[in-house]
Amino acid sequence: MDSSKTEWDLADPVGARNLARAALDPGVWAYLERRADGGQVDRNLAAWAAMDLRPRILRGVGEVDTSVTVLGRRLEAPILTAPNGRATRYHPDGERAVMTGAQNAGVGVVIGSSAGHALKALSASASPTLLWSQVYLATEEAQVARFVERAVEAGCHAIVATVDLVPGRPSAQGLPALHRPEWEPELAADGAAPLYAAAGIADLERLVRRSPLPVVVKGVLRGDDARICVEAGAAGLIVSNHGDAQLAGAIPSVRALPAVVDAVGGKVEVYVDGGIRDGASVVRALALGARAVLVGRPVTYGLAVAGAAGVETVIQSLRADLKRAMALCGAARLSDIGADLIG
């Protein structure tokens, strides 16, 4: 394959998706693209596109600065890679490639729980400016304790407690043997997958007390839930509907974002994921009060096609598109992006 053409295609969201589909096993592709309703329509993507921008003109934007601090750590752009299952499904280098690509692009990384056993080795091979480790919030305290210990030993900067998963959807059952669901290593003694929906606010409080690292809660879609997470000690919230892959009909992340931002009243940073494909959507997210965005499937597309280089290309392309969108909106820096830009 022509490497220059591949890089060009990866810089385009549609081109990257097409390349990834051609590169992946059909079963793995179906798992990556699954939706809760069994279809292929990305409701998150559609919701971002439906939100108009009202750009400003004549603001003298000569240069654009996309840098930001996230929980006190400076990134070159308000972008983090979202945890997206066991990354070795998509490329042999897996999480190592994601971390290297993100490090080279100057953005943050959220490593999925499936890589928890290898976190220390991964962090020794690549050192992103921001490295968060995901854990599915469970009622089994010993299990959570292991995740916390691994994250601390690996030098992670925060723990992401994902709270919106009930594993075992039929769409995961057709995966090839080498691509088992990420929760399989944590099966209970009776062979059943853990029911993370059984976790309650007391489990989050317990995690916060145990962890010496800040705890960010992922999967928040309501203002009342946002408030109780903050009261429980959460240092940040990720507005997310799990890539529209869990509950059919769940509100798209962008539509839930304003209520969550309003509910926390600036007490903690708020982030958002789901359907981020271009710079205009990043501008929308920040205009609605998000501190940064998480990007999942597009990063995986890049990973599947070209490993670390593909991840870096996808992220740098998104950052370049963000710069263009900011300039067109009259925003020289992220602090210039406000609610007035939403039409």
Residue 229's DSSP bridge partners are none
Give the model confidence (pLDDT) of 56-115 as tens digits.
999 889 999 999 999 999 999 999 999 987 899 999 999 999 999 999 999 999 998 877
Residue 300 domain-assigned (yes or no):
yes
pLDDT at 192: 42
Measure the CA–CA gap between 73 and 270, rounded to whole angstroms: 15
Tell me how many domains the chain contains.
1
pLDDT at 86: 85
Residue 246 domain-assigned (yes or no):
yes
Q: What is the pTM of this model?
A: 0.89
> Is 343 or 80 the better-scoring residue by pLDDT?
80
User: Which pLDDT band holds residue 139 (cuts at 50, 70, 90)?
Assistant: low
Q: Is 242 a catalytic residue?
A: yes
Contacts (Cβ under 8 Å, ≥6 apart) of 95: 87, 88, 111, 112, 115, 118, 122
Contacts (Cβ under 8 Å, ≥6 apart) of 265: none
Q: Residue 291's domain spans which residues?
A: 3-30+43-167+195-341
Whether the pLDDT of residue 291 is over 50: the answer is: yes
pLDDT at 189: 39
pLDDT at 171: 45
Q: Tell me the three state secondary structure of residue 333.
A: strand
Cβ density class 75-98: b for 16+ within 10 Å, e for less: bbbbbbbbbbbbbbbbbebbbbbb
CATH at 88: 3.20.20.70
User: Which pLDDT band holds residue 146 (cuts at 50, 70, 90)?
Assistant: confident
User: Considering 91, 157, 179, 242, which one is annotated as catalytic?
Assistant: 242
- Express as a percent the part of the chain with pLDDT over 90: 62
Residue 177 domain-assigned (yes or no):
no
pLDDT at 166: 65
- Quote the tokens at residue 324: 């263009």
Residue 262 domain-assigned (yes or no):
yes
Give the model confidence (pLDDT) of 247-264 as tens digits.
777 899 999 999 999 999
Give the model confidence (pLDDT) of 99-121 as tens digits.
999 999 999 999 988 776 788 88
Whether the pLDDT of residue 190 is over 80: the answer is: no
Mean residue pLDDT of the chain comes to 86
Residue 38 domain-assigned (yes or no):
no
